Amino acid sequence: MNRQRRRGTGRRIRQEKRIIDAMLHLYCRDTHGAQKSLCPDCARLQDYAHRRLDICPFQEQKPVCNRCTVHCYSAARRAEIQAVMRYAGPRMPRRHPWLALLHLLDKLRPSPKLARVTR
């Protein structure tokens, strides 16, 4: 069986990107007044978040970010994304019920330890 898959293209990672995008848009629209596209700062953060997901060592076994055992963000980016998640997290069920539900289910997964991950 071929488990070798191009990183950043699996179902789990794609879903994480959709969730982070939805959270960023919600946050940016409400706090930075953005319309269709993100403001430059949020666009940079989105780009960063996507790249972290592309190289996430867990890939398809990835836990939700706040339960992860690997801290892959730099301190500054981490503070930025935490502000976004703190704001957007509680608002997700109303604005994006389907994504919020999927994310809730992901929270119930056990957090893998890095050593157990198949590469």
Q: Which residues are at the interface with Zn ion (CB under 5 A)?
A: 28, 32, 39, 42
Q: Which two tokens stand for residue 82?
A: 């935490």
- Minimum distance between the CB of residue 83 and Zn ion, rounded to whole angstroms? 11
- Minimum distance between the CB of residue 72 and Zn ion, rounded to whole angstroms? 22
Nearest-5° Cα angle at 100, 94 to 101 = 115
**What's phi and psi for 16, nearest 5 deg?**
-60, -35
Smaller CB separation from Zn ion, 31 or 61: 31
Q: Which two tokens stand for residue 40?
A: 């430059």
Smaller CB separation from Zn ion, 7 or 32: 32
The CA distances from residue 111 to 62, 93, 106, in Å, are 8, 23, 10
- Minimum distance between the CB of residue 34 and Zn ion, rounded to whole angstroms? 5
Smaller CB separation from Zn ion, 13 or 22: 22
Distance CA 89, CA 24 (A): 10
Smaller CB separation from Zn ion, 30 or 60: 30
- Minimum distance between the CB of residue 42 and Zn ion, rounded to whole angstroms? 3
Q: What amino acid is encoded at 2 in this protein? A: N
